[in-house]
Homo-oligomer: A and B are copies of this chain.
Amino acid sequence: MTDLSRLIRPHSIALIGASDRPNSIGERTLTNLLDHSEFEGTLYLVNPGKTELRGRPCWPSVSALPTTPDVAVIVVPAAGVLSVAEECTARGVPFAIVLTSGFGEAGDEGERAQARLKEIADAGGMRLYGPNCPGLTNVNHRLGLTFSPSFPHDLVKGPIGLATQGGGLGRNVMQAMERGIGIGLWASTGNEVDLQVADFIHYMADAPDIKVIITLLEGIKDGAKFVAAVQRAAANGKPVIALKVGKSAYGQKAAQSHTASLTGSAEVNSAVFRQCGVIEVDDIDELVDTAWLFARATPAASEGVAIYTSSGGTAALTADAVGTAGLTLAQFSPATLEVLRTELPDYAAVDNPVDTTAAVLSDAALIEKTLSAVAIDPNLGCVIVPIALDYGNTTIQLARTIIAAQKGCATPIIPIWMSDRLGEGYRMLVEAGFAPPRSVGKGIKAIQRWVEHGRWRREHGADEPMTITAVPAPVSTTRSLSEAEAKQQLEAAGIRLLPRTVAASVDEATSVAATMGYPVVAKIASEDIVHKSDIGGVKVGLDNADQLRRAWQDITESVRRHRPDARIDGLLIEKMAPQGGSELMIGVTRDPVFGHVLTFGMGGIYVEILRDVTRRTLPLQPGAAAAMIREMRCFALLDGARGRAKADVPALEALLNRVSDFVVRHADRIEEMDLNPVWIGAAGQGVIPLDAVIVERVDPGVSA
Q: Which residues of B contact A284 (CB under 8 A)?
A: 317, 388, 418, 439-440
List the number of copies, as a whole number: 2
Note all chain B residues with C-beta closer than 8 A to A422. 178, 422
Q: Is the CB of B218 within 8 A of A316?
A: yes
Contact (A642, B320) CB under 8 Å given A168-B311, A258-B313: no
Contacts known (A347-B105, A353-B254, A421-B175); A439 close to B283, Cβ less than 8 A: yes
| Chain B nearest CB, measured from A320 CB (Å) | 2
Across-interface contacts of A168 in B (CB, < 8 A): 311-314, 358, 388-389
Of B314, B391, B604, B610, the residue contacting A169 (CB under 8 A) is B314
How close is A665's CB to chain B, nearest CB, in angstroms? 34
Q: Is the interface of A mostly helix, strand, loop or mixed?
A: helix
Whether the Cβ atoms of B320 and A248 lie closer than 8 Å is yes
1/0 contact string of A597-617 vs chain B (CB within 8 Å): 000000011001110000000
In the bound complex, residues from chain B placing their C-beta under 8 Å from that of A248 are: 319-324
Residues from chain B with Cβ under 8 Å of A391 in the complex: 150
Task: Name A172's closest neighbour in chain B (CB-CB).
Answer: B388
Number of A residues with CB within 8 Å of any CB on chain B: 87
B642→A605 contact, CB < 8 A: yes
Q: Is the CB of A312 within 8 A of B259?
A: yes
**Quick one: given A171-B389, A172-B389, are A320 and B250 in contact (CB under 8 Å)?**
yes
A195 to chain B, nearest CB (A): 18
Cα A439 to Cα B443 with chains together (Å): 13
Q: Give the docked Cα–Cα distance between A439 and B388 (Å).
A: 19
Is A689 on the interface with B (CB-CB < 8 A)?
no
- In angstroms, how far is the closest chain B Cβ from the Cβ of A593? 17
- The answer to whether B251 and A324 touch across the interface, beta carbons within 8 angstroms, is yes
Proximity bits, A254-292, B CB within 8 Å = 1, else 0: 110111000000000000000000000011111010000
Contacts of A199 in B (CB 8 A): none
A329 to B250, Cβ gap below 8 A? Answer: yes
| Interface 9-residue window, one of A5-13, A88-96, A206-214, A632-640 | A632-640
Question: Nearest chain B CB to A483's CB is how many angstroms away?
Answer: 21
Partner of A319, one of B251, B288, B610, B642: B251
> Is A457 in contact with chain B by the CB < 8 A criterion?
no
Our pick among B171, B246, B313 for the contact of A218 (Cβ within 8 Å) is: B313
Assess whether A319 is in contact with B175, with CB atoms less than 8 Å apart: no
Picked from B315, B388, B438, B604, the residue with its CB within 8 Å of the CB of A171 is B388
* Most B C-beta atoms less than 10 A away, residue of A250, A390, A419: A250
**What's the Cα separation between A105 and B311 when bound, in Å?**
13
Distance in angstroms from A227 CB to nearest chain B CB is: 23
Residue A245 interfacial (CB < 8 Å): yes
Contact A316 B258 (CB under 8 A): yes
Binding site for B on A (CB under 8 A): 105-107, 150, 164-172, 175-179, 181, 216, 218, 243, 245-255, 257-259, 282-286, 288, 311-317, 319-324, 329, 346-347, 349, 353, 355, 358, 388-391, 418-422, 438-442, 604-605, 608-610, 633-634, 636-637, 641-642
Instruction: For the A-B complex with A169-B313, A178-B421, A250-B323 known, give 6 more contacts whose Cβ atoms are closer than 8 Å.
Output: A246-B320, A248-B323, A250-B320, A251-B324, A284-B418, A285-B418
State the 3 A-B residue pairs at the shortest beta-carbon distance, nearest first.
A251-B320, A248-B323, A166-B313
